[in-house]
Structure 1
Amino acid sequence: MNTSIPTLLLVDGSSYLYRAYHAMGQNLSAPDGTPTGALYGVLNMLRRLHADYPHDYCACVFDAKGKNFRHEMFPDYKATRPPMPDDLRPQAEALPELVRLMGWPVLVVPDVEADDVIGTLARQGAEGGLKVWVSTGDKDMAQLVNDKVTLVNTMSGEILDIDGVQNKFGVRPDQIRDYLALMGDKVDNVPGVEKCGPKTAVKWLEQYGSLENVMAHAAEIKGKVGENLQTALPQLPLSYDLVTIKTDLDLHGELPEGLDSLRRRTPKWAQLVSEFTRYGFRTWLKEAETRMKEANSGDLFGAEHIGEQAALATVTMPAEPVIEHPQAPDTLNYQAVTTEAQFAALLEKLAAARHIGLDTETTSLEAMKAQLVGISIAFAAGEAVYIPLGHSPTAAPEQLDLHDVLGRLKPYLESGKLKKTGQNLKYDQHIFANYDIALRGIAGDAMLASYIIESHKGHGLDELAERWLGLPTITYESLCGKGAKAISFADVAIEQAAEYACQDADFALRLEGRLKAQMDGKQLEMYEQMELPVAQVLFEMERNGVHIDKAELAAQSHELGARILELEQQAYQAAGQPFNLNSPKQLQEILFDKMGIPTKGLKKTASGGISTNEAVLESLAPDYPLPKIILENRSLAKLKSTYTDKLPEMINPATGRVHTNYAQAVAITGRLASNNPNLQNIPIRTAEGRRVRRAFTAPAGKTIVSADYSQIELRIMAHLSGDKTLIDAFNHGEDIHRRTAAEVFGIAPEQVTSDQRRYAKTINFGLIYGMGQYGLAKSLGIDNVSAKNFIDRYFARYPGVAEYMQRTKEQAAHQGYVETLFGRRLYLPDIHAKNANARAGAERAAINAPMQGTASDLIKRAMVAVSDWLASETSSPHGLGGDGLESKLIMQVHDELVLEVVDSELDFVRGKLPEIMAKVDGGMLAVPLVAEVGNGENWEEAH
């Protein structure tokens, strides 16, 4: 950041307050029980802001109590807003003074809003030659942006200058008021044009330039939205005035020395020591005590020195969450519930509870087959119970009856009002479903919360507790051992079992709140509106399972076995002798000693020999028959052992179906993984691999339907890069590979040959994965010079793509991460690596991750949308009446959803799926989403 120009930093304190409250929830409190989540969140954001944005002047502005001048203009202004939550009110009252003590000038001006004060200060600062940063998440503030005023959203990392406003909203900063007036604002109860969303507002302003001109040409706008516009005409001037931020307030009374009144002040360390002690902010307390001592001993650097060091650190280090370990409870209240009296007391406590931590102990990690050993419930930090239900008599001589306990717990477990938080609750949901209990009220999951804020790290409870709570855990192995001598949890003595199980529920509850508090606005929305709902869809899909045709797989296994034997004979013939195809040593001797294949440039093993791994064999296959035969043999053997032989063994005898497990918190891009079986890895490039999908069938009276996003990552590339040529091609429904070939080869689209289109397809997909000239040359079988020429011509025709790649690499290097369209943060630990190859790999990942991650987000949003539709559709095309369809989601693979559809619903589902899936971006993409739908008796036919 250029600090040669004096800088004014303005903070929308009221916006910070509510954002911090919703992020932190009710999970932090002072030693006396006073809620402190919002206080902690705001102060933490201000500390980071001060470090990240060096400044000469600053102010934190809060809304004054009561009504303001906008209520006089429109009595119903903000009438629909709910009152401030009771637990936020005392924090709101205490916050301004705490901010002042930290050295920030604080302004609270009656009869106006914080926006108006910020608007006036921003104008004064800009006119006085200052560079102005406004920290806010309020879109209304975009109207203040000019060449001197820039917005920064600390929660999302988004920076909006003039171009940033144009790119985000589609209009210039000077058109923002027109844009807001047309759309209205439901939160503030500002009337607008009914059904006028962002796209319509942008379209009108692009065509007519201003709200005034839109109103003048209202009669020309046809359709229902045109009628709505004409109906809204009388109130649009009022809407415009309501959304206009005042920039001409008289602030002399608040700032007698003008902007000089806003110079940064020294924190009041002694008073902060008292306040931080009161609120239990232990890490900050230590810092304040140190600073107080340094100030008393004449230290010249103080807080400003700390801020400079932190600012320097943010240039080169990933902006990962700063961990402040919360105060642990002084005592633990963990109890085993083994008597009727204890259980009755537990039920009374559940009846009064609003939010609990929940965990189960079971006999197996296979959720569909596992049986309960016990249930743990946490009510608050350090307070939890464990109900042993399936321990051996030796381990737990006194236990309540499992079915009686479950019967009496069922109303609470199935209650949506009693909120539940856990660690990978999808698993526990299956366990309860095994006992005919539908777990409802799932409000949080520590594993998924961790995945949102630090996808590149581990998400196990033990690791999270150490990292975020600063607390050790009792490990499963410490109780049960490992290997052949391991015992089952059912044999663990109840005293140790109860402590372990209670800790799981307790820590999950604490961790989820702690992790949630680290989320910015976009991350919180992704967590609550995407990942948690997706977990429910995954639970349903896992429960549904998929029907497998055992006879089809048996036939495929037989044919594969015959082909594998045939390939072995071919290998013997090519080698001139029999040998073990699975022995790297024998293969090495035959290829490089007996056959004399040159070894220069080939990868070596750790012992110094020449490797015979897949990459080496692939490099040799074009020139030598034996490596090609070995590769095909290995491929078919793996297909046989992994799928055609294994799938029949994985059929659940109780359901007659295969039930995969979807891992939601594995890939850093947000992609789902599956195991037992792994549906993501079924090969589709070979005929034999594709044939495996024939075994995934629908029972009689049903059909398999596949809905697959078309070229989704290329569409996302078009949007992210803003390249006009790419966007134009997708918006006109062109064959993107043919269009690229035409651009690169300089010919008309109708003249493009199949080879030229193939080249273009390789370039299109290769470049979004960071492929360079050497990779392209290898993929196309051409020389490096020709490959470079292709890339140069591509970038010349699609300059937006080249700019996006460069911009993204620079952004990744600056902040240590990139983001998806929806705010998923993708960290790149190697972006500053000294090793050039590691750094280059991180740069390639930086380019691709936003596309792959956004694609992952979109398919997840599609899963939720389709699942909700299936459950709520009321038109009942099958004629049975009632809510919901009989058809159901059964698989998600890459960019594809697979459904098992009742025949009577087939046409209806086929018609509706593309429509639903096309809208899940919420209008954010500059190009249309297209889902291609097919159906058949099996998955291969449908795809």
Structure 2
Amino acid sequence: MEYKCITRLDEIAAYLEGAKLIAFDFETSPTEKYRQDERAALDAHKAQITGMSFSVAEGSAVYVPLTHKVGKNAENPDVILQYLKKTLFENTQVTKVAHNLAFEAMFLYAQGIVLQAPCYDTIAAAQLTLKSKWEFRGLSDSGLKLLATSLFGAEMPDFQTVTSGRHFDELDPQEQETIRYACADSDYTLRLYHRFNGWFDRFLPSHRYIAEKIEAPTAVYCGIMKYNGIPMDKATMLKKQAKAEEQLSRMKTEIDAITGGIHIGANASTSAFKQYLYKDLGLPVLKTTEKYQEAADDQALIMLRDWCQENKPELVRLFDLIQEYRKWGKLKSTYIDGYLQHINTATGRIHPDLMPLGTETGRFAARNPNLQNCPRKDNDPVGVRSFIVAPEGKVILSLDFSQIELRVGAFYCRDEKMLKTYRTGGDIHAQTTSVIYNIPFAEAVDKNAKGYKERRTIAKNCNFGVFYGLFANGLQRTLQFKAGLHTTKEECETIINNLKAGYPGLAKWQNETKTSAANTCYTETWLGRRRYLISMLSEDWGKRSFAQRCALNTPIQGTAADILKLVCGRVIAGLPERPWLKPLLQIHDELIFEMPNDKVDEAVRFIKSCMEAKPFPEFDVPIVAEAAVGDSFGNLKELEV
């Protein structure tokens, strides 16, 4: 191995000169204030870059120490960083490769550098390659040390062994073990780049495009979002916490008065509560768990309430209280107590982990905390979204795709009525109302028409479910538990049959897609993101049915996810000239930003242009992004643009 430590700018320039592909890696250490914080080295608000390693060829790497407390550091670190910004990190002629690119992008962003494409994240590439015939690697299978050992037989010492409990800046950068550890990371990252691309080119070329053009820029975007964090109003959260405790106490007292003090626990799901319902009260078992025991989830309680309405009306109040108790308990534990635990002591903000490959369809997932499940205003008496408040002089801006999955569905199934509706700016829910009730379109859009609200609610639920192979039972449950509508199974069967008859392209696409998945045991997005569905061959109807729904779901939901990730790349390209624009969060089809009050119009124009651009040449359905702005996330007003 040709690993060495260099400290002069001319040495760095000589090593990188002429290279069009450069792997890099950062070592980080906490600043003085946070030396005792266990995870501070991973937080760009509590840590700094200790040193950088670079590799331009396999078996070769250099380490550039910047802020070590012992040994010799590089001369003029700020000058070196500005040199690297221009010649490497924001240079669109050089491919930058890192393992966990979001981490490096976050630390660069802290230095005012927005990493630009072309770039490549080997941790994302790992998750796009197979570890067995039918299974892609997960995040836990994609650590650098694990991959270097399993794919190259390398002996990679772990961080704890090298540091012996010290921070990295307490190591001597001129010692061979320090150099070897730092350089090996960038060297083996470069090797993984070649290994994975060789695998893609041989077995799954579309995944190379996804790794290079979609997932890598998205990783940079995630690093920037994590650095910016979510501004939280802690004082309001504490007030709401006290209110929630008061509400829960009041409801618990009333529940105890009805039940005689049965122990219901934090979520009213204890075995004692179930025994009270089914043994003491003798209520019928209307739903069971997978283990065929009495259920006490929300659906079961709604069904029991409906039964009691007819048979034991004196118990209806109990079920109403239990539902409210559960709702407030969830709001308090998840969205108040849970969020408060994650407020960063350095910033007063929450910096969640966003995982762009956290689901099999390619949609984002989030943790620590999961801010993607932030409740909407219409089902939230606490006002959780109002915890997210812009700093003084700033605003929160949201841009949300309008019905992106339905538009993608129309693109796939090629149904003329759907395509015409979107191409003419029509109302797809009204069109579906017209189709399933066999009424004129004019009546379907008439808000004063008899049954308008109920019909439109049913049409919406059909639109959002039927692309994914919704059955009558599923539609019936959805309408009952989500919309409060009571329809018979026969009525739901008629609705679905009418829908398929009215949109002939839909049923044709569904049948072709399921047949193809049965033959290949996989499904794909339009850009080739693959999901294996071995259960298509199962003799178990339940498993096979689930695989069939995945075969329909993944092309639509996954393609919509790919479209959003392509947007992230376009936004990244425009950030260097818009340093005031701060990406904060992604929730499903929505991107959320923070910016000065006087920059809203410019931001909306730029972001809409990124979102409404044609994602790939074949896509022929208009894409619409809707903007809303406010001083808090819970107080957004739609903008007419």
TM-score (structure 2 length as normaliser):
0.80
Question: Alpha-carbon deviation of 1:688?
Answer: 1.9
For residue 381 of structure 1, what is the aligned residue in structure 2? 58
Q: What amino acid is aligned across from residue 569 of structure 2 in structure 1?
A: V
Query: Would you say 1:925 and 2:602 are equivalent positions?
Result: no
Question: Alpha-carbon deviation of 1:579?
Answer: 1.9
Question: Alpha-carbon deviation of 1:840?
Answer: 1.4
For residue 98 of structure 2, what is the aligned residue in structure 1? 422
**Contact 1:865 1:920 (C-alpha < 8 Å) held by counterparts:** no
Question: Alpha-carbon deviation of 1:468?
Answer: 7.8
For residue 675 of structure 1, what is the aligned residue in structure 2? 367
For residue 369 of structure 1, what is the aligned residue in structure 2? 46
For residue 881 of structure 1, what is the aligned residue in structure 2? none
Correspondence for 1:461 among 143, 158, 165: 143
Query: Would you say 1:592 and 2:278 are equivalent positions?
Result: yes
Mapped partners of 2:117, 2:601: distance in 1:
34
**Contact 1:665 1:672 (C-alpha < 8 Å) held by counterparts:** yes
For residue 735 of structure 1, what is the aligned residue in structure 2? 427
For residue 718 of structure 1, what is the aligned residue in structure 2? 410
For residues 677-826 of structure 1, the aligned pairs below 5 Å read: 677-684=369-376, 686-688=378-380, 691-752=383-444, 753-780=452-479, 781-826=486-531
**Contact 1:479 1:492 (C-alpha < 8 Å) held by counterparts:** no
For residue 71 of structure 2, what is the aligned residue in structure 1? 399
Mapped partners of 2:48, 2:602: distance in 1:
40
Mapped partners of 2:289, 2:339: distance in 1:
35
For residue 196 of structure 2, what is the aligned residue in structure 1? 515
**Contact 2:217 2:568 (C-alpha < 8 Å) held by counterparts:** no
For residue 356 of structure 1, what is the aligned residue in structure 2? 22
For residues 624-663 of structure 1, the aligned pairs below 5 Å read: 625=316, 626=318, 628-663=320-355
Check 1:371–1:560 CA distance in 2 against 1; reply closer, same or farther (3 A cut): same
Mapped partners of 1:855, 1:558: distance in 2:
40
Check 1:631–1:709 CA distance in 2 against 1; reply closer, same or farther (3 A cut): same
**Contact 2:144 2:185 (C-alpha < 8 Å) held by counterparts:** no
Question: Alpha-carbon deviation of 1:513?
Answer: 1.9
Mapped partners of 1:911, 1:420: distance in 2:
29
For residue 210 of structure 1, what is the aligned residue in structure 2? none
Name whichever of 466-475 and 507-516 sits farther off.
466-475
Question: Alpha-carbon deviation of 1:828?
Answer: 2.5
For residue 533 of structure 2, what is the aligned residue in structure 1? 828
Mapped partners of 2:600, 2:107: distance in 1:
33
Q: Give deviations 1:326-356, integer Å, cap 9, x for gaps.
A: xxxxxxx16464x879x98666434565533
Question: Alpha-carbon deviation of 1:441?
Answer: 7.2
Q: Give deviations 1:680-734, integer Å, cap 9, x for gaps.
A: 1112275327821112222333332222111111111111000111112222322
Mapped partners of 1:345, 1:908: distance in 2:
42
Q: Give deviations 1:141-162, integer Å, cap 9, x for gaps.
A: xxxxxxxxxxxxxxxxxxxxxx
Check 1:840–1:765 CA distance in 2 against 1; reply closer, same or farther (3 A cut): same
> What secondary structure, in the 3-state scheme, does the structure 2 residue paired with 1:378 have?
strand
**Contact 1:375 1:387 (C-alpha < 8 Å) held by counterparts:** yes
For residue 540 of structure 1, what is the aligned residue in structure 2? 224
Mapped partners of 2:148, 2:182: distance in 1:
17
Question: Alpha-carbon deviation of 1:823?
Answer: 2.8
> What secondary structure, in the 3-state scheme, does the structure 1 residue paired with 2:380 have?
helix
> What secondary structure, in the 3-state scheme, does the structure 2 residue paired with 1:853 have?
helix
**Contact 2:106 2:224 (C-alpha < 8 Å) held by counterparts:** no
> What secondary structure, in the 3-state scheme, does the structure 2 residue paired with 1:697 have?
coil
**Contact 2:287 2:294 (C-alpha < 8 Å) held by counterparts:** no
Check 1:531–1:908 CA distance in 2 against 1; reply closer, same or farther (3 A cut): same
Mapped partners of 1:467, 1:685: distance in 2:
49
For residue 444 of structure 1, what is the aligned residue in structure 2? 120
TM-score (structure 1 length as normaliser):
0.56
Mapped partners of 1:771, 1:749: distance in 2:
24
Mapped partners of 1:816, 1:604: distance in 2:
27
Q: What amino acid is aligned across from residue 412 of structure 1 in structure 2?
A: L
Q: What amino acid is aligned across from residue 860 of structure 1 in structure 2?
A: K
**Contact 1:375 1:386 (C-alpha < 8 Å) held by counterparts:** yes
Q: What amino acid is aligned across from residue 761 of structure 1 in structure 2?
A: K
Q: Give deviations 1:788-837, integer Å, cap 9, x for gaps.
A: 12111111111111111111111112223222223322332433334332
For residue 549 of structure 2, what is the aligned residue in structure 1? 844
For residue 51 of structure 1, what is the aligned residue in structure 2? none
Q: What amino acid is aligned across from residue 22 of structure 2 in structure 1?
A: I
Check 1:837–1:554 CA distance in 2 against 1; reply closer, same or farther (3 A cut): same
Mapped partners of 1:340, 1:430: distance in 2:
24
Q: What amino acid is aligned across from residue 426 of structure 1 in structure 2?
A: A
Give the fraction of aligned pairs with identical amino acids, expressed as a percent: 29
For residue 39 of structure 1, what is the aligned residue in structure 2? none
Mapped partners of 1:369, 1:839: distance in 2:
49
Q: What amino acid is aligned across from residue 521 of structure 2 in structure 1?
A: G
**Contact 1:710 1:931 (C-alpha < 8 Å) held by counterparts:** yes
For residues 525-536 of structure 1, the aligned pairs below 5 Å read: 525-536=209-220
> What secondary structure, in the 3-state scheme, does the structure 2 residue paired with 1:831 have?
helix
Q: Give deviations 1:55-106, integer Å, cap 9, x for gaps.
A: xxxxxxxxxxxxxxxxxxxxxxxxxxxxxxxxxxxxxxxxxxxxxxxxxxxx
Question: Alpha-carbon deviation of 1:856?
Answer: 0.9
For residue 140 of structure 1, what is the aligned residue in structure 2? none
Question: Alpha-carbon deviation of 1:456?
Answer: 4.0
Mapped partners of 1:586, 1:414: distance in 2:
66
For residue 34 of structure 2, what is the aligned residue in structure 1? none
Mapped partners of 1:817, 1:799: distance in 2:
24
> What secondary structure, in the 3-state scheme, does the structure 1 residue paired with 2:399 have?
strand
Q: What amino acid is aligned across from residue 284 of structure 2 in structure 1?
A: P
Q: What amino acid is aligned across from residue 825 of structure 1 in structure 2?
A: R
Q: What amino acid is aligned across from residue 779 of structure 1 in structure 2?
A: T
Q: Give deviations 1:738-785, integer Å, cap 9, x for gaps.
A: 211111111123434211111111111121233211111222332222
Question: Alpha-carbon deviation of 1:633?
Answer: 2.4
Q: What amino acid is aligned across from residue 703 of structure 1 in structure 2?
A: V
For residues 142-161 of structure 1, the aligned pairs below 5 Å read: none
For residue 504 of structure 1, what is the aligned residue in structure 2? 185
**Contact 2:469 2:552 (C-alpha < 8 Å) held by counterparts:** yes
Mapped partners of 1:402, 1:566: distance in 2:
64
Mapped partners of 1:390, 1:612: distance in 2:
57
> What secondary structure, in the 3-state scheme, does the structure 1 residue paired with 2:383 have?
helix
Question: Alpha-carbon deviation of 1:414?
Answer: 5.2
For residues 559-578 of structure 1, the aligned pairs below 5 Å read: 559-578=243-262
**Contact 2:375 2:385 (C-alpha < 8 Å) held by counterparts:** no
Name whichever of 755-764 and 608-617 sits farther off.
608-617
Mapped partners of 1:420, 1:916: distance in 2:
23
Correspondence for 1:551 among 229, 235, 238: 235
- Figure out how many residues of one structure are paired with residues of the other and give that number: 587
| RMSD (Å) for aligned C-alpha atoms | 3.6
Correspondence for 1:890 among 584, 588, 594: 584
Mapped partners of 2:166, 2:137: distance in 1:
29
For residue 264 of structure 1, what is the aligned residue in structure 2? none
Structure 1: gaps (5+ residues) = 1-332, 393-397, 873-883
Q: What amino acid is aligned across from residue 810 of structure 1 in structure 2?
A: T
Query: Would you say 1:471 and 2:153 are equivalent positions?
Result: yes
Question: Alpha-carbon deviation of 1:447?
Answer: 1.6
